[in-house]
Amino acid sequence: MKNLKKNSANNFQSDFKAKKSLGQNFLHAPQVISAMVHAGEISKESTVLEIGPGKGVLTEKLLLTEANIIAIEKDDRAISFLKEKFDKEIKNGKLKLIHGDILEFDEIELEKYIIIANIPYYITGEFMRKFLETENQPERIVVTLQKEVAKRIVDKKESILSISVKAYGNPRYLMTVPKKFFRPMPNVDSAVLIIDNISKKFFTDSKIDEKSFFEILKAGFAHKRKVLIRNLEEKIPKKTLEMIWGREGISKNIRAENVTLEMWKRIVGESFLS
Ligand code: SAH
């Protein structure tokens, strides 16, 4: 009997230890998992890209929606584990498991897709840039990230980060996820952030070039102590700025953190015109 048990355990990749280098903190909170799936507004017809499925807790709930799930995972141990766990769903074509690093995928050949992910914190920035800036953007992103970062994205006080996200979609803070909900437990709390209505409309409607927009945005935030108009003088002629400030009735003392996306559109748009 003992032998039998041992054999069956050997055949099955029953579990694996969390690897710090892969940022593995597994979610143990059914309510958070359900809330993330719900926030995805997934229907049977949806295509969902899950990043970093790990041991498949989210994948499992995603499969219940009967959508088509594509899951990309970097860890080969997790891949063997998931292959066993979701054997049936892989065979019936509902789940496609891809072994790879999400940051190395150049082309995402999916149409109208939704991203759901609980990924390591150290790839959040690169992941967001990649999927917000790509020509083939997802419709919606539901992602866990550090609480402080999520708060900064939705804070009334704007930052390069918050404006960059808002230029592509509507971010919403769904819920805080205390660190104790993860195993192993990370050092900081997390939050679930939703970015809805993702598109390039902001740029196409305003005819503002993406690259120039971000260059000007960065310049606007360059020196914290300086007011916006002084910061922007590095990029835009002073005369043009004074004309825009006058026309738009902007206070000379305004700082970048108090400038909304709509105002940025007018400032950058008008500076191109003149
Ligand atoms: N989503 C699971 C696992 C979270 S841990 C859960 O909620 O429990 C983060 C997962 O992302 C791990 O499985 C890790 O192996 C994977 N991962 C880390 N870097 C990755 C990358 N660059 N591309 C794809 N997956 C990655």
Q: What is the pLDDT of residue 1?
A: 45
Q: pLDDT per residue over 235-266, tens digit each?
A: 999 999 999 999 999 999 999 999 999 999 99
Mean per-residue pLDDT over the chain, rounded: 94
How far is the centre of ligand 1, averaged over its atoms, from the C-alpha of 86 (Å)? 17
3-state secondary structure the chain: CHHHHHHHHHHCCCCCCCCHHHCCCEECCHHHHHHHHHHCCCCCCCEEEEECCCCCHHHHHHHCCCCEEEEEECCHHHHHHHHHHCHHHHHCCCEEEEECCHHHCCCCCCCCEEEEEECCHHHHHHHHHHHHHCCCCCCEEEEEEEHHHHHHHHCCCCCHHHHHHHCCCEEEEEEEECHHHEECCCCCCEEEEEEECCCCHHHHHHCCCHHHHHHHHHHHCCCCCCCHHHHHCCCCCHHHHHHHHHHHCCCCCCCHHHCCHHHHHHHHHHHHHC
Q: pLDDT per residue over 70-90, tens digit each?
A: 999 999 999 999 999 999 999
Q: pLDDT per residue over 139-176, tens digit each?
A: 999 999 999 999 999 999 999 999 999 999 999 999 99
Atom of ligand 1 nearest to the CA of 24: 5
How far is the centre of ligand 1, averaged over its atoms, from the C-alpha of 24 (Å)? 6
Q: pLDDT per residue over 104-127, tens digit each?
A: 987 778 999 999 999 999 999 999
Q: pLDDT per residue over 194-237, tens digit each?
A: 999 999 999 999 999 999 999 999 999 999 999 999 999 999 99
Closest residue by CA, ligand 1 atom 4 = 26
How far is the centre of ligand 1, averaged over its atoms, from the C-alpha of 52 (Å)? 3
What is the rounded average pLDDT of the residues 132-138?
95
Q: What is the pLDDT of residue 12?
A: 52
Q: What is the pLDDT of residue 159?
A: 97
- Indicate if ligand 1 lies below 6 Å from the C-beta of 73: yes
- Indicate if ligand 1 lies below 6 Å from the C-beta of 65: no
How far is the centre of ligand 1, averaged over its atoms, from the C-alpha of 155 (Å)? 27
- Indicate if ligand 1 lies below 6 Å from the C-beta of 57: yes
pLDDT of 16 strictly over 80: yes
What is the rounded average pLDDT of the residues 184-197?
97
Could you tell me the pTM of the whole model?
0.93
Closest residue by CA, ligand 1 atom 8 = 26
Quickly state the pLDDT bin for 44 (edges 50, 70, 90).
very high
pLDDT of 10 strictly over 60: no
- Indicate if ligand 1 lies below 6 Å from the C-beta of 22: yes
How far is the centre of ligand 1, averaged over its atoms, from the C-alpha of 12 (Å)? 21
How far is the centre of ligand 1, averaged over its atoms, from the C-alpha of 18 (Å)? 10
What is the rounded average pLDDT of the residues 94-107?
93
Quickly state the pLDDT bin for 13 (edges 50, 70, 90).
low
Q: What is the pLDDT of residue 274?
A: 62
pLDDT of 101 strictly over 60: yes
- Indicate if ligand 1 lies below 6 Å from the C-beta of 56: no
